[in-house]
A and B are shown apart, each in its own frame.
Chain A
C-alpha cells in the first residue's frame, strides 16, 4: 500500500497510462504477439536435406513471399473460396430474411405466446455448432434419419442431401437453424426501442400493419440489419464446424472444402504451419476487406440519406 502523500507525488500525468496498462498489456500479449508470430511464420519454411532422417536434417529458413504465392495460385484454396461464396449466398440472405421476418412478427400487436416463441427460435443458437452439425448430419443420412423413414412410408422421393448442389442446402440449413435466433433477437431488441409515438403518427396517417412494417420499422432498424449482416459475413468466411463435422459422413466434402479447413489440414494434417500461417493471413485480410468494406459502404449510404 502506498501512502496518500506518495501517490500524490507520482502526479496525475502518469495516471491515464497506468489505467491503460492492463488492457494494453493483454492486447499486446494475446493479440499483437500471436498475430505477429503467425505473420513471421508465414514468411518462413522448412528445408530438409537428403532423406531427412539424421540430426539437423531439417532447418527453418526464410521463404519470402513463397507461401503467399503458393496459396494464391493453389487451385484448392481458390475453389474453397468459391464454395464458401456459394454457401454464403444462401446462408446470409435466408438467415437474415428469416430473422427480420420473425422479429417483425413478434413485434406485431396481436402476437400470442411471444416469450415462448422468442425462446424457441433463439434456443438453437445455444447449441454448440459441432453438436448441431452432428445432429443434422444424423438427420441427413437416409438409413438412420427419421425424416427419410417418413418419406419412405409415404412413398415420396428421397433427396440425397449429402451430395452435389443439395450439400450446400444441407450445410446452409445448419447455419440458418443455429444463427437465425441470435440475429432475430438483435433486430427485435432494436424494434422494441422504436418509440410508440412513431406508430401512432403512422396510424393517424392511415398506415396498416404491413405499411408500418415496410415503411417505418425496417428503415428504423437498418443499423441493426447492417450489424447482423456484418457479423454474418464474418461467420460465413470462417465456416469450419459444419463441413468438418459432415466430412466423415460423405465423400462430397473434401478435407479442404473451405479455406479455413485447408488451413487446418495444412497445419495439423500435413504439419506445414508455414503455409497455414500464410493462408490464415490471407483469409484474415479478405475478411477485413469484405466486412469493413461493407460497413463503409453502408455508412456512406446512411450519411447520404441523412444529409439530402
Chain B
C-alpha cells in the first residue's frame, strides 16, 4: 500500500487539529462530530478471534466514522503489561490495549493508560457496579472499558460424584468433608489440587472471603494481603494440603491434564472460562462435568470472587484518544461485537445485558448436559465481591508463586507463606516510594 504513509500523515494532521477542537470543546462531551475524520488506531490484544470483531468494526461503524482499527495479536497477561510499559517509555505505544483488571493500577501508575471518563458517555450503565469499580480504581476517572469477567465456580465430575456417593458442597466446610470422604473411599483419587502457579485463583478465593488486598485512603495505600479473611482462606487450603485431603501439585501441567482426563482429580475450582480449558485438558470426559456455585464460607451466603477478566484501555500515547475510547465502548457493549467475541473467542462478557443474549442461549459444547449453564453463570456473576487491586500486583503474584510453591511442597504453614507475600509486597512499595500506611 503505497498510500499508507501519506494517509497517516494527513490523518494525524487532522487529528491534531481535532484534538485542539476537542480540548476547546472540553466539557461538552458526546459530540460525535468531534470524533469523525479518518483515523487509524492500533489495538494490542490477545483475545482469540479479536480480528473478526475488529473487521466488524472496520466494515460497520468504523467505516461510517472513518476510524480504522488495526488489530495486533499479543501474548497474554504479564508479558503484555511489560511490553506496554516498555512501548510507553519509548513513546511508541499502540492506541488501545487489552489489560487484565489487576494490571490496570500498574499501568495507571506508570502513566500508560488514559482517563477516558469524558469520552465514553453512559457506558457505565451497561456494567455491574463491582465490575465498573475495577476500571475506575475507586476514583472519578475511568481507565478502561470492561471486556470480560471470570466469576469463580465449582466444577465437578457429576458421574464420579454419584459413583462415590458425594454431594456437591455448598460451603467450604462441606468441601473439606467431601475431600476427606473421597480419600476414604478412593485413596488414589483427589478432589482437587492446591496449585501455587497461578495467584489469580487464590486472589479470587480471598476476594470471596471479603479480603481487600490494596486499599487507598488519602495519599496512602494500605496493603492487607495477610488480612483476617485471606488468613482464613490460607489456613483452609493449607490444612487440606497438610492432611493430604487434596493434592499439592501445580495445575496446567501434562500431569494435571491427565489427572482431570482420567478422573484422578474429580473437581476444579475455576472460573466461567473453565469449559475452554477443560476442552483441551480433559477431552475424553466431555459431558461428564457439571458446574455449581462456589462453596460459601457461611451457609446461605451467595458471593463469589473472580479469576481473570480483562478490559480495553486507551493509552496516553494515543493521539486519537476520543476515537479510541469510542471503539473501546463499542467493542464491549455492542451486541454484535460482544456476541462475536463470545462465539469466536469464548470470552464471557462483562456487559450485563450480553450475558444472557445470543451466544449464551445454549450451554458450552463441553457441557451439553447442563442446559442452564449460562443462566446460572449470569446469576453467579451478579454476586461477585468487589475487588481491590493495587499498583504492584505483579510483585505480590510472583512472591505468591515462590512462597506458596514452597509451602505446598513442604506441606507447611500457609499463613507463614502469606506473611511472606505481604512482607515482599509492602517492602517493594516502600522501596519505590509509595505512600504506605501500616
A248 and B255: CB pair below 8 A? no
Complex: how many Å from CA A298 to CA B252? 47
Q: Which residues of A contact B395 (CB under 8 A)?
A: 269-270
Q: Which residues of A contact B172 (CB under 8 A)?
A: none
Considering only residues 100-135 of chain B, those with a C-beta below 8 Å from chain A are: 105-106, 108-111
Known contacts A251-B409, A268-B79, A268-B82; A48 and B109 CB within 8 A of each other: yes
Complex: how many Å from CA A267 to CA B395? 11
Q: Which residues of A contact B78 (CB under 8 A)?
A: 268-269
Considering only residues 381-411 of chain B, those with a C-beta below 8 Å from chain A are: 391-392, 394-395, 397-398, 401-402, 405-406, 408-409
Q: Which residues of A contact B249 (CB under 8 A)?
A: 250-251
Q: Which residues of A contact B392 (CB under 8 A)?
A: 270
Complex: how many Å from CA A142 to CA B405? 19
Q: Which residues of A contact B53 (CB under 8 A)?
A: none
B409 and A53: CB pair below 8 A? no
Pick from A55, A144, A163, A270: contact of B409, CB below 8 A.
Answer: A163
Pick from A52, A58, A142, A254: contact of B402, CB below 8 A.
Answer: A254
Q: Is the CB of A46 closer than 8 A to any CB of chain B?
A: yes
Q: Is the CB of A294 closer than 8 A to any CB of chain B?
A: no
The count of residues in chain B whose C-beta lies closer than 8 Å to any C-beta of chain A is 46
Q: Is the CB of A255 closer than 8 A to any CB of chain B?
A: yes
Q: Is the CB of A11 closer than 8 A to any CB of chain B?
A: no
Select from chain A the residue with minimum beta-carbon distance to B403. A254
Select from chain A the residue with minimum beta-carbon distance to B89. A273
B394 and A254: CB pair below 8 A? no
A249 and B255: CB pair below 8 A? yes
A141 and B401: CB pair below 8 A? no
B433 and A51: CB pair below 8 A? no
- B213-231 to A contact mask, C-beta < 8 Å, 1/0: 0001001110000000000
Q: How far is the CB of B101 from chain A (nearest CB, A)?
A: 15
Considering only residues 121-172 of chain B, those with a C-beta below 8 Å from chain A are: 137, 139
- A248-282 to B contact mask, C-beta < 8 Å, 1/0: 11111011100000000101111100000000000
Interface size class of A (residues with CB under 8 A): 20 to 34
A50 and B409: CB pair below 8 A? no
Q: Is the CB of A215 closer than 8 A to any CB of chain B?
A: no
B398 and A48: CB pair below 8 A? no
Complex: how many Å from CA A248 to CA B221? 32
Q: Which residues of B contact A268 (CB under 8 A)?
A: 78-79, 82
A142 and B255: CB pair below 8 A? yes
Complex: how many Å from CA A290 to CA B249? 38
Select from chain A the residue with minimum beta-carbon distance to B391. A52
Select from chain B the residue with minimum beta-carbon distance to A270. B395
Q: How far is the CB of B406 from chain A (nearest CB, A)?
A: 7
Pick from A55, A163, A270: contact of B398, CB below 8 A.
Answer: A270
B109 and A57: CB pair below 8 A? yes
B139 and A53: CB pair below 8 A? yes
A52 and B434: CB pair below 8 A? yes
Q: Which residues of B contact A267 (CB under 8 A)?
A: 82
Q: Which residues of B contact A254 (CB under 8 A)?
A: 401-402, 405-406
Q: Which residues of B contact A270 (CB under 8 A)?
A: 392, 394-395, 398, 428
Q: Which residues of B contact A46 (CB under 8 A)?
A: 432-433
Considering only residues 130-174 of chain A, those with a C-beta below 8 Å from chain B are: 138, 141-144, 163
A58 and B111: CB pair below 8 A? yes
Q: How far is the CB of B423 from chain A (nearest CB, A)?
A: 13
Considering only residues 178-206 of chain A, those with a C-beta below 8 Å from chain B are: none
B79 and A251: CB pair below 8 A? no
Q: Which residues of B contact A53 (CB under 8 A)?
A: 105, 108-109, 137, 139, 391
Pick from A56, A57, A144: contact of B258, CB below 8 A.
Answer: A144
Q: Which residues of A contact B274 (CB under 8 A)?
A: none
Q: Is the CB of B254 closer than 8 A to any CB of chain A?
A: yes
Complex: how many Å from CA A255 to CA B405? 10
Known contacts A141-B254, A251-B250; A47 and B432 CB within 8 A of each other: yes
A49 and B433: CB pair below 8 A? yes
B85 and A143: CB pair below 8 A? no
Known contacts A51-B435, A52-B434; A250 and B250 CB within 8 A of each other: yes
- B235-259 to A contact mask, C-beta < 8 Å, 1/0: 0000000000000111011110011
Complex: how many Å from CA A248 to CA B248? 13
Q: Is the CB of B328 closer than 8 A to any CB of chain A?
A: no
B216 and A51: CB pair below 8 A? yes
Complex: how many Å from CA A250 to CA B409? 9
Q: How far is the CB of B220 from chain A (nearest CB, A)?
A: 8
Please name the 8 residue pairs, one residue from A and one from B, whose CB atoms are nearest each other, closest first.
Answer: A251-B409, A251-B405, A52-B109, A254-B402, A50-B219, A141-B255, A47-B433, A48-B433
23 pairs of residues in contact across A and B, judged by CB atoms under 8 Å: A48-B433, A49-B433, A51-B216, A51-B434, A53-B105, A53-B109, A58-B109, A58-B110, A141-B253, A142-B255, A249-B250, A250-B409, A252-B405, A252-B409, A254-B401, A255-B398, A255-B402, A267-B82, A268-B78, A269-B395, A270-B392, A271-B81, A271-B106
B interface, CB within 8 angstroms of A: 78-79, 81-82, 85, 105-106, 108-111, 137, 139, 196-197, 216, 219-221, 248-250, 252-255, 258-259, 264, 391-392, 394-395, 397-398, 401-402, 405-406, 408-409, 428, 432-435
Contacts A144-B258, A251-B250, A270-B395 known; list 17 others, CB within 8 Å.
A47-B432, A48-B109, A49-B435, A50-B434, A51-B220, A51-B434, A52-B391, A52-B432, A52-B434, A58-B109, A143-B258, A143-B259, A248-B253, A254-B401, A255-B402, A269-B394, A271-B81
